[in-house]
Structure 1
Amino acid sequence: MDQGNTAFILICAALVLLMTPGLAFFYGGLVKAKSVISMMMLSFGAMGLIGVLWVVYGYAIAFPGSDGLVPPWSIDWSAIGLKSLLEVPEGAAYPPLAFVAFQATFAIITVALVSGAIADRAKFGSWMIFAAIWATIVYFPVASWVFNFGLAEDGSFAYGGWITYGMQEWFGVGAIDFAGGTAVHINAGAAALALALVLGKRLGFQKGVHVPHNPPFVLLGAGLLWFGWFGFNAGSELAADGTAALAFVNTIAAPAAALLAWMVVEKIKDGKPTSVGAASGAVAGLVAITPACASLDPIWAIVLGLIAGAVCALAIELKYKWGFDDSLDVVGIHLVGGLIGTLYLGFFATTTGLFWTGDGTQLLVQAIAAVSVLVYSFVLAYVIGFAIEKTIGFRVKNEDEVAGIDTVVHGEEGYVLEGTRA
């Protein structure tokens, strides 16, 4: 067993877990002051719920192993409760539980991302029910499609999900998604769009009405996300080597460029670059580089960041034109950014992209992967959310939304001055 790589994986897992509290700060600063506890609890609730589900059966669904093409919905019954993974196989590079821990943090952050679309108006219990069902029938299987693959001694695929192994068999190249552009960001963004449509618009929804109550929280959250993202991207190599170093550098370059691009768009469009825009630009660049971080030279990572920052800065305006209330721009940043990063690889992926080879096959498989995950996640998220709304209810009462839902849902306030609380 390689203790260095084992330590690397475990440290990266801790970094990725920190991303969810970072997301809670990022989202919490964007909502109104009387909803900040509720917003942050949607992320912390996901940490608790998905952490348990992952150990009980989530890993068994996401990583069923097998030989050849793994069915789109499969399960390794021996991995229920992680019983079969307690022993370290002879000759293993790292303990199986290190990989289990690393991938658990991916599942947690993906579910938490969805919550940004339903800020200020969602019941906590209904969210937890949605999160459990969506993780079980959407995230865990999609993770298997993308991340569950094994390699033969010659480096070729030995088995895997249809997005990696299957398309390699069918088209000669598999889709590239190094750290989760499809499985995490397109997946979460599509689900967020579905829930935004199910819950409907916030009261008084229009541009300029709902403003962030705490931009310093947003900046803090973005900083924690960026810090954790190094574990997210570089850690996906599962080894402290040159590929991990490339992913690490690209995780600096792309979001830095996206931050600048977003601020330039804001300056041109609105006259002022904002702190929230800078934070959002960095996150957009991080989203876009996620699938591509090990398949681009750093210069091309900068180009990707510039594109993602500019396009996402414009994409967040679509909710006002098309009439869906994606409260915290999960669609505009994660869905759009994930699509940009995934499709960009079809053009510029080293050795296989259209720009380098003149062959559009890589672009084709990237598009198939992106659209398939988008449609699958959107449809099932809409069905789950609609069923919850029509049975136990997903949205709080209008009067509670106006007053702020922290005290109604959690019995707490985010900001209490001495002597002012009854």
Structure 2
Amino acid sequence: MRRLFAILALLGAVSIGAPAWAEDKPAVATETPTAVAAPAATPASEPAATTAASAAPAAAAATPAPVANKGDNAWIMTSAALVILMSIPGLALFYGGLVRTKNMLSVLMQVFVTFSLISVLWVIYGYSVAFTEGSGFFGVLDKIFLKGITVDSVAATFSKGVVVSELAYVIFQGAFAAITCGLIVGAFAERAKFAAILVFMVIWFTLSYLPMAHMVWYWAGPDAYLDAATGEAATKTAGFLFQKGALDFAGGTVVHINAAVAGLVGAIVIGKRIGYGRESMAPHSLTFTMIGASLLWFGWFGFNAGSALEASGGAALAMVNTWVATACAAMSWMLAEWMIKGKPSMLGAASGAVAGLVAITPAAGFVGVVGAIVIGLLAGVVCLWGVNGLKRLLGADDSLDVFGVHGVGGMLGAILTGVFAAPSLGGTGVYDYVLNKVGDYDMTAQVISQLWGVGTVIVWSGVVSLVVFKLVDMVIGLRVPEEEEREGLDITSHGESAYHY
């Protein structure tokens, strides 16, 4: 009982206290920005919640505030529901089918409760830290418990004068945060303490997910880019990687690489499963894995196409790219495996589909269909190497190949976004909100910006994850005892079984 109280106390202290220092950030300036040089083409990253009144100068105060379009609102809320479907039951079933029978329920529990925990933390302080103006790395606590957000509050989209209801934006982004944390559990499935996982998630969410979301996706919104002076001033208030020009349409860095690095660190720190490399650890139900992969594919349309934030042609482009890249990756993984092993496998096709979904995520709204096809075909083959050759090189027991698929696929997609976003290759280019047109595209500069994003998330998530895992291990321990691991976590951790014979 004392241990339970200690765990609850640690959870409460971290969830409320960890971001409190952000309140020390200086307040947002209210004076008119001074004149500065015109900015380069501004990347169309995901916007932060902002009202039209705060984005416009005082001279335009009399202009009526834009009203959210009901169609756009409906699309964002539908997309949020699709992302939730990706997590529960999609990710849970995909992961659950890949573990042994004795651990099926434990994985379902870890994903389900992680989703619930992060959803609560997102409303309490997560949204505020990620999507308010502060430093280049963290927002502030102005919107703690969604303070000040009403049914009339609006959030910016990618189009000037077009907004969506901020509450719809809150749940859409919250679903992203929840599934990101859920992805991590697959790397150390079948051997971690349930309490340790929950404590880790609270701290990692606070110190890794939230700053990465802020760095990549926070900006003042397109209405702030009225001229060279206001545009330059607005860019300076954006997240660190947004200012670097990194493009991430729907979460290649924020979600996939971020989670994959955390999972790999966890797999190394916790250690290999008992019997790894000597005993059979084959998936107990590829039927569930196929169902889970199919739900992921279905829900991913909300994940990627929803990130357009409007029911528009841009959303349709992201949807088509998500559809075709995933299909290409499923085929390329299956065919490559068929050539190597002599038989095509259901596991290979499903894994290839997920690899394609991951790789197209950062590029979905920026590349053309040909770019999506190339990214998908490469993702299937490269991620197949990631879960075989690279995994052997790393020597870690990444149980469900989180790093091999989400890490490798996320890096591939993020870097290739810089290539195939080029208008000359069918991409959309990068929109310049000062000039109100697509700017001149410099592929080399954009790839360098993409590398900034990839490198930053690897270092940030790696360092945070290592420190947090070590801290949790010292306080409550990360791994279950050997006898409990051998018996299975369903019974020893939860007192239940997924199946009764």
Q: What TM-score results when the alignment is normalised by the length of structure 2?
A: 0.78
Residues 226 and 283 in structure 1, CA contact (< 8 A), matched pair in contact too: yes
**TM-fit CA distance, 1:87:** 4.2
Q: 1:63-109 CA deviation, whole Å, 9 max, x = no partner? A: 0136xxx431231x220000211241488732211100100000000
2:343 to 272, 280, 295: 272
Asked if 1:373 is matched to 2:457, the reply is yes
Aligned match of 1:408: 492
Aligned match of 2:406: 334
1:385 to 469, 480, 488: 469
Q: How many residues align?
A: 406
Aligned match of 1:24: 92
Mapped to 2, the partners of 1:203 and 1:49 lie a distance apart of: 29
Provide closer, same or farther for how the CA distance between residues 353 and 366 of structure 1 changes in structure 2, counting only shifts above 3 A. farther
Aligned match of 1:170: none
Provide closer, same or farther for how the CA distance between residues 14 and 358 of structure 1 changes in structure 2, counting only shifts above 3 A. closer
Asked if 1:161 is matched to 2:233, the reply is no
**TM-fit CA distance, 1:39:** 0.9
Local SS of the residue matching 1:328: coil
Aligned match of 2:137: 72
Aligned match of 1:100: 170
Local SS of the residue matching 2:147: helix
**TM-fit CA distance, 1:203:** 1.0
1:175 to 242, 246, 262: 246
Mapped to 1, the partners of 2:443 and 2:174 lie a distance apart of: 36
2:131 to 59, 63, 84: 63
Mapped to 2, the partners of 1:16 and 1:387 lie a distance apart of: 31
- Alignment-mate amino acid for residue 308 of structure 2: E
Mapped to 2, the partners of 1:106 and 1:353 lie a distance apart of: 29
Mapped to 2, the partners of 1:353 and 1:44 lie a distance apart of: 41
Q: Which runs of 5+ in 1 are unaligned?
A: 168-173, 418-422
Q: Percent identity?
A: 45
Q: 1:160-189 CA deviation, whole Å, 9 max, x = no partner? A: 21111x11xxxxxx1110000000001001
Q: Which runs of 5+ in 2 are unaligned?
A: 1-67, 155-160, 430-440
**TM-fit CA distance, 1:47:** 1.3
- Alignment-mate amino acid for residue 118 of structure 2: I
Instruction: Give structure 1 regions of 4+ aligned residues with deviation exceeding 6 angstroms.
Output: 352-356
Asked if 1:10 is matched to 2:77, the reply is yes
Q: CA RMSD in A?
A: 1.9
Residues 296 and 348 in structure 1, CA contact (< 8 A), matched pair in contact too: yes
- Alignment-mate amino acid for residue 412 of structure 2: I
Residues 345 and 353 in structure 1, CA contact (< 8 A), matched pair in contact too: no
Mapped to 2, the partners of 1:360 and 1:214 lie a distance apart of: 45
Moved more, 88-97 or 193-202: 88-97
Matches for 1:268-347 after TM superposition, within 5 Å: 268-317=339-388, 318-347=390-419
Mapped to 1, the partners of 2:452 and 2:471 lie a distance apart of: 29
**TM-fit CA distance, 1:46:** 1.0
- Alignment-mate amino acid for residue 75 of structure 2: F
Asked if 1:51 is matched to 2:129, the reply is no
- Alignment-mate amino acid for residue 33 of structure 1: T
Mapped to 2, the partners of 1:328 and 1:206 lie a distance apart of: 14
Mapped to 2, the partners of 1:304 and 1:263 lie a distance apart of: 16
- Alignment-mate amino acid for residue 462 of structure 2: F
Mapped to 2, the partners of 1:149 and 1:232 lie a distance apart of: 20
Provide closer, same or farther for how the CA distance between residues 236 and 208 of structure 1 changes in structure 2, counting only shifts above 3 A. farther
